[in-house]
Structures are given as structure tokens and as C-alpha cells.
């Protein structure tokens, strides 16, 4: 079983990726983002991204009800269905899903972020949280019957309301529940780079031990991404392929070691 993660950047070559699916002999599930599309539509709709900063100094995006609306339009709607359409065009019987459908991904809403409002300390809760459990019934049923699940956000919180969540966290949980032995991450880069400004500096192989060191050295969003990778290896031993999602045969290239292999 392979989990194929398709990044949500504008440079990702969706047509090439979906065409390349024919070369995959194993069962797979697709998980995709849509951040570039979400930002584009949000801007057109005049929706301003709200950034909140906790008293500890961490900044994060605040997802309100309208933010979930826009997520549903772009992730669950436009991007998900255009991927399903591309699959159907290529003879792949895809079924587009969110974490809500069939209760696939159940999570827990963040308890709140402490912020300073004027002089006062305030606890702010938004509509985001962590995935805690995968209900595999629907996914297994689809795969057993030759359908290809195409999954994206939102997910359910503990009260069964829609919340935002990180795809990396969802994939880590999926990997555990589905016992996937391979994870392919298709990104807008040639692989994991030694020098983030040099696309020729792809690190071909990374061991589990090296991943720990990389996390310590990394900064910002990349630190969180490597943290998610490290979590992936905590309880299981998959092989992770991080490779270019912009080229002609992104999946074949990734699985043949064209990018970075972590194991």
C-alpha cells in the first residue's frame, strides 16, 4: 500500500501525476493539498487570512467558520473534483473524499491559544485541530472494490464538526492505520535539499537517525515537516520518497530514487 501525497502548490503537474498512476502496481490512496488555490480564491472573495500570535511567540493561521467554507470550496470542492476528473479521464475509478465522509478522520479541536488582547490574557479557539483516529472501513471498502480514494481536509472534531488539520499529521495517522509501507510526497522541489537554495543539492538517502539531526538544524515550516516525518518513523518503518511533482513522470521518478529516499 502506497500513500501518495500531492502538494497544493501551483507548480505541481497534476496531469502528469495522474497519468503516471498507471505505472503503480500496488494499492494506493491519494492525499492532496490545495493551499495555492485556497489563497487565490480567498483573495478573490475578499477573505483576509488572520494570523494570531500566542504569548509564547508562535504565529499560526486562525481558521474561522468562513475559513472552513473556503477550505470546503477549494480543497474538498474544486481541487478534489478536478483530480477525480483527471483520474476518470485516465481510466482510474477515483472517489473524492474528505475526513468528514464516512467519518474517515476523527480529530480533536485545539483547546485554545493564549493571546494577549490589550493587557488581558485571552484563550482563543479556532476551527482547527489534530487528527486522532482513522476509521478505515470506507477506505478499505473502496480499495477492495477497485476504487481509488482521493482524500483531503477538513476532518471531524470530537463533536463531529468540520475542522482544519495538517495533511502531514493525517498522513502519519493513515500510514499507521493502513500499514502503508511506502509514502510518496510530491513537492515543488527536486527532493530534500542539503542547501535549500540549490535544487542540485538533493540528499539521495536519509536514514532514520539522520532525520533526527536534520530536525534540530531545520527552521520554520521545514522544521515542522521534518518533525512530522520523524513521528512517522516512531512506531513504524515505511519508506518515504520525497520527489519532484512538477516533471513528466513524477511517481516513477520518485519510486526509482529520483528524489530523496528516507528509510
Q: Which residue has the cell 512530522?
A: 228
Q: Which of 82, 132, 224, 231: binder of a second copy (CB under 8 A)?
A: 82
**Part in contact with a second copy (CB under 8 A); list of ranges 1-9, 65-73, 203-211, 243-251:** 65-73
User: Least separation, in Å, of the C-beta of 79 and a second copy?
Assistant: 9
Q: Which residue has the cell 533526527?
A: 212
Site for a second copy in 175-204 (CB under 8 A): none
Taking the least distance from each CB to a second copy, the nearer of 44 and 120 is: 44
Looking from the CA of 196 toward its CB, the CA atoms found within 13 Å total 8
d(CA 35, CA 128): 15
Site for a second copy in 122-151 (CB under 8 A): 137-138, 141, 145, 147
Q: Which of 36, 41, 143, 193: binder of a second copy (CB under 8 A)?
A: 41
User: Looking at residue 103, what DSSP letter applies?
Assistant: G
Q: Which residue has the cell 532525520?
A: 211
User: Looking at residue 161, what DSSP letter applies?
Assistant: -
- For the chain, give percent helix, strand, coil, nearest 5: 40, 30, 35
Orientation of helix 208-217 relative to helix 220-235, angle to 10°: 150
User: Least separation, in Å, of the C-beta of 88 and a second copy?
Assistant: 4
**Residue 78 sits in the site that holds a second copy (CB under 8 A):** yes
**Residue 73 sits in the site that holds a second copy (CB under 8 A):** yes
User: Least separation, in Å, of the C-beta of 171 and a second copy?
Assistant: 20
**Residue 64 sits in the site that holds a second copy (CB under 8 A):** no
| Rg of the chain on CA atoms, in Å | 18
Q: Which of 12, 42, 72, 174: binder of a second copy (CB under 8 A)?
A: 72
> Which one, of 251, 259, 260, 256, lies nearest residue 14 by Cα?
251
Q: Which residues bind a second copy (CB under 8 A)?
A: 41, 44-46, 69, 72-78, 80-82, 84-85, 88-89, 93-98, 100-103, 137-138, 141, 145, 147, 154, 156, 159-162
Amino acid at each position: 500500500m502506497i500513500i501518495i501525497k500531492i502538494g497544493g502548490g501551483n507548480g505541481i503537474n497534476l496531469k502528469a501525476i495522474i497519468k503516471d498512476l498507471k505505472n503503480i502496481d500496488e494499492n494506493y490512496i491519494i492525499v492532496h493539498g490545495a493551499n495555492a488555490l485556497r489563497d487565490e480564491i480567498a483573495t478573490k472573495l475578499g477573505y483576509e487570512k488572520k494570523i494570531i500570535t500566542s504569548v509564547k511567540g508562535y504565529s499560526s493561521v486562525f481558521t474561522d467558520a468562513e475559513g472552513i467554507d473556503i477550505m470546503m470550496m477549494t480543497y474538498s470542492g474544486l481541487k478534489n473534483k478536478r483530480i477525480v476528473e483527471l483520474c476518470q479521464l485516465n481510466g482510474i475509478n477515483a472517489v473524492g473524499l474528505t475526513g468528514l465522509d464516512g467519518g474517515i478522520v476523527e480529530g480533536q479541536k485545539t483547546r485554545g491559544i493564549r493571546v494577549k488582547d490589550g493587557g488581558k490574557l485571552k484563550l482563543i479557539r479556532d476551527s482547527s485541530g489534530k487528527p486522532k483516529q482513522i476509521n478505515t472501513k470506507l477506505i478499505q471498502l473502496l480499495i477492495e472494490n477497485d476504487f481509488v480514494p482521493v482524500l483531503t481536509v477538513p476532518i471531524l472534531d470530537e463533536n463531529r464538526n468540520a475542522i482544519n488539520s495538517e495533511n502531514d499529521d493525517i498522513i502519519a495517522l493513515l500510514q499507521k492505520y493502513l500499514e502503508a509501507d511506502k509514502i510518496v510526497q510530491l513537492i515543488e522541489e527536486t527532493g530534500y535539499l542539503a542547501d535549500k537554495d540549490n535544487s542540485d543539492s538533493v540528499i539521495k538517502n536519509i536514514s532514520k537517525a539522520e532525520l533526527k539531526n536534520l530536525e534540530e538544524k531545520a527552521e520554520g515550516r521545514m522544521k515542522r515537516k521534518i518533525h512530522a516525518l520523524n513521528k512517522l518513523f516512531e512506531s513504524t518503518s515505511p519508506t518515504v520518497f520525497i520527489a519532484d511533482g512538477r516533471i513528466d513522470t513524477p511517481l516513477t521518478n520518485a519510486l526509482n530514487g529520483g528524489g530523496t529516499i528516507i528509510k
